[in-house]
Amino acid sequence: MFDKLNKLNFETAEAHCDGPCGVYDPAQARIEAESVLQLTKKILDLKRPEGDDAKAHAAYQNTLTRFIAIKEERAEMAKHHLLVLWTDYFKPQHLEKYPDLHETFWNAAKACSSCKQEVSLEHAQELMDAIKKVHEMFWGSKDKDVAWYTAS
Amino acid sequence: MFDKLNKLNFETAEAHCDGPCGVYDPAQARIEAESVLQLTKKILDLKRPEGDDAKAHAAYQNTLTRFIAIKEERAEMAKHHLLVLWTDYFKPQHLEKYPDLHETFWNAAKACSSCKQEVSLEHAQELMDAIKKVHEMFWGSKDKDVAWYTAS
Amino acid sequence: MFDKLNKLNFETAEAHCDGPCGVYDPAQARIEAESVLQLTKKILDLKRPEGDDAKAHAAYQNTLTRFIAIKEERAEMAKHHLLVLWTDYFKPQHLEKYPDLHETFWNAAKACSSCKQEVSLEHAQELMDAIKKVHEMFWGSKDKDVAWYTAS
Amino acid sequence: MFDKLNKLNFETAEAHCDGPCGVYDPAQARIEAESVLQLTKKILDLKRPEGDDAKAHAAYQNTLTRFIAIKEERAEMAKHHLLVLWTDYFKPQHLEKYPDLHETFWNAAKACSSCKQEVSLEHAQELMDAIKKVHEMFWGSKDKDVAWYTAS
Amino acid sequence: MFDKLNKLNFETAEAHCDGPCGVYDPAQARIEAESVLQLTKKILDLKRPEGDDAKAHAAYQNTLTRFIAIKEERAEMAKHHLLVLWTDYFKPQHLEKYPDLHETFWNAAKACSSCKQEVSLEHAQELMDAIKKVHEMFWGSKDKDVAWYTAS
Amino acid sequence: MFDKLNKLNFETAEAHCDGPCGVYDPAQARIEAESVLQLTKKILDLKRPEGDDAKAHAAYQNTLTRFIAIKEERAEMAKHHLLVLWTDYFKPQHLEKYPDLHETFWNAAKACSSCKQEVSLEHAQELMDAIKKVHEMFWGSKDKDVAWYTAS
């Protein structure tokens, strides 16, 4: 039944597609993914304290645990913002223009999970690349030219 | 890059697919969707008070606002549970068995949004049907026979 | 004052007890508790890396921290779903049929906290057993026969 | 098995009961319940605009919807803080001192739900009274004398 | 005590200021504020159904309640992102460069609350203007030139 | 434009300042800060297990990770409750009475972040002191005398 509905709405989709508020911006996912990348770097750079100083170990564990927890949270938010674009912004007519739409988002979402499960610069970079691709598809679908930049 | 990764993991996917905890169950999405359906019915059945009794109007608005807000929340949770299955449980080898995997989840997720945006028994039933299909794909992929039931 | 209210509502409780949407299912608590059990197993099975390889230690800590954090979250959700049943579904007339209603839920909720505070297969199994008992009380109160199954 | 465990821990319970951080204060529930009471009053006092001025109606609906939504949220938080006390602070030895412990919390939690479902000064006052009783049980169990006050 | 600490850290602040992950971007607040503005417009444009058609009234209330609830949530998120910048990114040395730092953020945060409490295009525009000012202060403090754009 | 608005509202601020519900109490921030202090102590007191017993290490890591995570969460909540007071309760006329209002809250919020980033009794005590000062400003602004007490 979605097929039929979509056919009827095809012409007017640009007007309606943006409900409820029509404000989407892949920058939200990009900012979260940048955090994931920076935190991955910081976890890999963190030095374990030598010796048995209890306070130094507490400080180390505090920093490490927080970095892992924030990486998890940021990756989850990146995934959330990506899936909002996939489920709410993109419509069947976009699928005709971008036949790899589903694969792109599936892989981007799976990269978020990999960034959680591992401490991997490669996966963090994959995620950044995937979001850059989404940025291009998104602004391309609106025939708008918005420059890609990073905050870090 | 996922393609290559997925090929290598193909044989071992059943073992690894279940990280972190391997506990998935489409019942989570089904229970939320049942709430969406019941709340939609209750909104449509709600009688507006006649006359100007302020207390009756406050009670009516309280009930109506709560039903709409809970419907929104339950539809969001149904979407969340569906997308966890799509992004974390289902793997490329499942896509070979279920070529309409992406469309199924895209439509199911879009049905969640429609259930929010409208007060529609049709969309609520569409969502229930989509989740029943997911239930069958999910347990089918595990060669397990779990009966479909509803709590309401 | 609850006593009086409850007396008056006794006959009609089955109709009213289910507001706002009347959809309850102990499966929600069961799925979370299964996650708690699986994560507890995984934490106990996790091998600490020997030697000083920094990357191996980062990976180990990442996995361990995530398992602990997800166990915490799942146990909290199990508790939440249990307490919704206790406070919203069960009514005074159920207490007559199940005089140990309060103790059952108190112990189940305390088992959730124990599963957080310790890495204990015993407490995780206690929680599963407590939820199985809740499953039987719940469906028993509705005179419905729903099979107990697990997703893992 | 809890019974046996509790017997053994009886003497040492005061020391252990306070994990993880030992900071509990019924003031958290009291502050939320005060909000519920004030919002209930405000909803009942709100005047519906006469005539058809669209802007006046939008302002009225905005205020009413927000009051209902915040009442819902505050009642949920009151319930949450109450249930933390019941499941984590209170121990079996307290039950001997306060045999109506379970009923007190069950009724208080049910009052939270009633405050959501209705716009009722009576239920809001019931909730305040129930929390005052919890305040006395809590500080009584610690042999501490803390004055009851309200912020509104 | 902060004064002393800040003096000592003055020279090294640029290096340390960015913990934990150093990724800040006022675009997060801007995107939320755009939603607030669009939703305010949509609420003001919404037509109340004439006559007594129950289904039309349910649809109208559903749309209105959702717009108000989403406006509330988006304004809260705008406030959250603003206050992260104020409390975590900006340091005492920035205060020397921007003596109106505190007033700017106080007013911006109060504009978020006004956007919740009223359906006001003026307040929504005030919030957008305040965030544009924050955008300039933020990138100015980094001597970076990032163009201001909107997604809507 | 805020300046003008504030002048006009000066006389009536006491009446309006309390929207939406007028229930504020610095006790909310104080209770969270007490948790932060207790958890900081507990982290510093925690003994690392000697030897290689895997179960003892799992228990130690479980406790440590939870204490760090709960400290993070409690510090975030303390910050949230403080910022609600700063942005919603305090008005321009209060700034005349308390010229260090902004600095007080900025430092208190920064102390919350320090309590997250470090395991520091000093920062935890700073936070408690800052909240005691807020307690005095708050009740002072209402000409009410409420005793400061702690729950731990």
pLDDT digits (tens, 9 = 90+) for A37-67: 999 999 999 999 988 888 999 999 999 999 9
Q: Report chain F residues whose CB lies below 8 A from the CB of D38.
A: 21-23
Q: Report chain B residues whose CB lies below 8 A from the CB of C23.
A: 31, 34-35, 38, 151-152
On the question of pLDDT at A130 being above 50, the answer is yes
- pLDDT category of residue E45 using cuts at 50, 70 and 90: very high
What's the CA gap between D140 and C91, in Å, rounded?
Answer: 29
Whether residue A116 contacts residue A75, with contact meaning beta carbons closer than 8 Å, is answered with yes
Work out the percent of chain A whose per-residue pLDDT is above 70: 87
On the question of pLDDT at E3 being above 70, the answer is no
Radius of gyration of chain B (CA): 19
Q: Could you tell me if A68 lies within 8 Å of chain C, comparing CB atoms?
A: yes
Q: Write the CB contacts of D127 (distance below 8 Å, at least 6 apart in sequence).
A: D33, D36, D37, D75, D78, D108, D111, D112, D115
Mean of pLDDT over chain A: 88
- pLDDT category of residue C18 using cuts at 50, 70 and 90: very low
Mean of pLDDT over chain F: 88
- Please provide the DSSP assignment of A56-109 as one string: HHHHHHHHHHHHHHHHHHHHHHHHHHHHHIIIII--HHHHHH-TTHHHHHHHHH
- pLDDT category of residue C21 using cuts at 50, 70 and 90: confident
Q: Report chain C residues whose CB lies below 8 A from the CB of A65.
A: 65
Per-residue model confidence (pLDDT) at position E4: 31
Whether residue F43 contacts residue F96, with contact meaning beta carbons closer than 8 Å, is answered with no
Work out the percent of chain B whose per-residue pLDDT is above 90: 81
Per-residue model confidence (pLDDT) at position A123: 98
Collapse the DSSP code of A146 into the 3-class scheme (helix H, G, I; strand E, B; otherwise coil) and give the result. Answer: coil
Whether residue D21 contacts residue F39, with contact meaning beta carbons closer than 8 Å, is answered with yes
What's the CA gap between D64 and F20, in Å, rounded?
Answer: 11
Whether residue D110 contacts residue C91, with contact meaning beta carbons closer than 8 Å, is answered with no
Q: Are A87 and B107 an interchain contact pair (Cβ–Cβ within 8 Å)?
A: no
- pLDDT category of residue B6 using cuts at 50, 70 and 90: very low
Q: Write the CB contacts of E99 (distance below 8 Å, at least 6 apart in sequence).
A: none
- pLDDT category of residue D24 using cuts at 50, 70 and 90: very high
* Nearest residue of chain E to residue F86 (CA atoms): E106
Task: Name which of B2, B19, B112 is nearest A117 (Cβ-Cβ).
Answer: B19
Per-residue model confidence (pLDDT) at position C6: 30
Per-residue model confidence (pLDDT) at position B2: 30
Q: Could you tell me if B104 lies within 8 Å of chain C, comparing CB atoms?
A: no
On the question of pLDDT at F107 being above 90, the answer is yes
- Please provide the DSSP assignment of B58-82 as one string: HHHHHHHHHHHHHHHHHHHHHHHHH
Main-chain phi, psi angles of A144, to 5 degrees: -120, 145
* CA neighbor of D72 nearest in space, from D35, D108, D126: D35
Q: Are F20 and D39 an interchain contact pair (Cβ–Cβ within 8 Å)?
A: yes
- Please provide the DSSP assignment of A37-48 as one string: HHHHHHHHHPPP
* Nearest residue of chain D to residue B67 (CA atoms): D117
Q: Write out residues 112-131 of D within 8 Å (CB-CB) of B.
A: 116-119
Q: Could you tell me if E85 lies within 8 Å of chain A, comparing CB atoms?
A: no
Which has the higher per-residue pLDDT, F132 or F9? F132
Q: Report chain F residues whose CB lies below 8 A from the CB of C60.
A: none
Task: Name which of A24, A39, A149 is nearest E21 (Cβ-Cβ).
Answer: A39
What's the CA gap between B20 and C62, in Å, rounded?
Answer: 12
Which has the higher per-residue pLDDT, C60 or E18? C60
What's the CA gap between A109 and B82, in Å, rounded?
Answer: 13
On the question of pLDDT at C100 being above 80, the answer is yes
Q: Could you tell me if B56 lies within 8 Å of chain D, comparing CB atoms?
A: no
Per-residue model confidence (pLDDT) at position A35: 97
What's the CA gap between A60 and F148, in Å, rounded?
Answer: 35
Q: Could you tell me if E27 lies within 8 Å of chain A, comparing CB atoms?
A: yes
* Nearest residue of chain C to residue D104 (CA atoms): C2
For chains D and E, CB pairs below 8 A equal: 29
Element (H, E) at E109: helix E101-117
Q: Report chain C residues whose CB lies below 8 A from the CB of A43.
A: 58, 62
On the question of pLDDT at D3 being above 60, the answer is no
Q: Are D68 and B55 an interchain contact pair (Cβ–Cβ within 8 Å)?
A: no
Where helices occur in chain F by DSSP H, the ranges are: 2-9, 13-16, 27-45, 54-84, 92-97, 101-117, 121-141
On the question of pLDDT at D12 being above 70, the answer is no
On the question of pLDDT at A20 being above 80, the answer is no
D106-to-B61, C82, C90, D87, E89 alpha-carbon distances in Å: 27, 13, 10, 12, 45
Q: Could you tell me if B81 lies within 8 Å of chain E, comparing CB atoms?
A: no
Ranges B63-72, D109-118, F19-28, F60-69: which has the least confidence: F19-28
Q: Are D87 and C107 an interchain contact pair (Cβ–Cβ within 8 Å)?
A: no
What's the CA gap between A142 and E19, in Å, rounded?
Answer: 36
Q: What pLDDT digit, counting tens, does each position of C42-53 carry?
A: 999 999 998 888
* CA neighbor of A119 nearest in space, from B2, F65, B5, C55: C55
On the question of pLDDT at E11 being above 60, the answer is no
Q: What pLDDT digit, counting tens, does each position of F33-87 carry?
A: 999 999 999 999 999 998 888 899 999 999 999 999 999 999 999 999 999 999 9
Ranges D19-33, D98-112, E93-107: which has the least confidence: D19-33
Whether residue B48 contacts residue B9, with contact meaning beta carbons closer than 8 Å, is answered with no
Per-residue model confidence (pLDDT) at position A21: 79
Neighbouring chains to E with at least 3 Cβ pairs closer than 8 Å: A, B, D, F
* CA neighbor of B76 nearest in space, from B111, B48, B125: B111
What's the CA gap between E98 and F87, in Å, rounded?
Answer: 20
Q: Write the CB contacts of A76 (distance below 8 Å, at least 6 apart in sequence).
A: A112, A116
- Do chain C and E touch: 3 or more Cβ pairs under 8 angstroms? no
* CA neighbor of B20 nearest in space, from C73, E151, F38: C73
The dihedral formed by the CA atoms of F2, F6, F8 and F13, expressed in degrees to the nearest 10: 140
Quick count: other Cβ atoms within 10 Å of Cβ D65?
Answer: 24
Name the residue with tokens 């003055």. Answer: E10
* CA neighbor of F139 nearest in space, from F30, F10, F7, F37: F30
Q: Quick one: average pLDDT of E42-59?
A: 92
CA distance B110 to chain C (A): 22
* Nearest residue of chain D to residue C16 (CA atoms): D117
On the question of pLDDT at C12 being above 90, the answer is no
Q: Quick one: average pLDDT of E8-24?
A: 50
Q: What pLDDT digit, counting tens, does each position of B121-149 carry?
A: 999 999 999 999 999 999 999 999 999 99
Per-residue model confidence (pLDDT) at position F7: 29
Q: Could you tell me if D59 lies within 8 Å of chain E, comparing CB atoms?
A: yes
Residues recorded for chain A: 152
What's the CA gap between F59 and C108, in Å, rounded?
Answer: 22
Instruction: Give the N- to C-terminal CA distance of chain C in Å, as an integer.
Output: 45
E142-to-E94, E95, E136 alpha-carbon distances in Å: 10, 14, 10
Work out the percent of chain F whose per-residue pLDDT is above 70: 87
B151-to-C19, C95, C128 alpha-carbon distances in Å: 14, 22, 20
Q: Report chain C residues whose CB lies below 8 A from the CB of A118.
A: 59, 62
Q: Could you tell me if E20 lies within 8 Å of chain F, comparing CB atoms?
A: yes
Phi and psi based region of residue A84 (left: phi greater than 0; alpha: psi -120 to 50; beta: remaining): alpha
For chains C and D, CB pairs below 8 A equal: 40
* Amino acid in the structure at residue F87: T
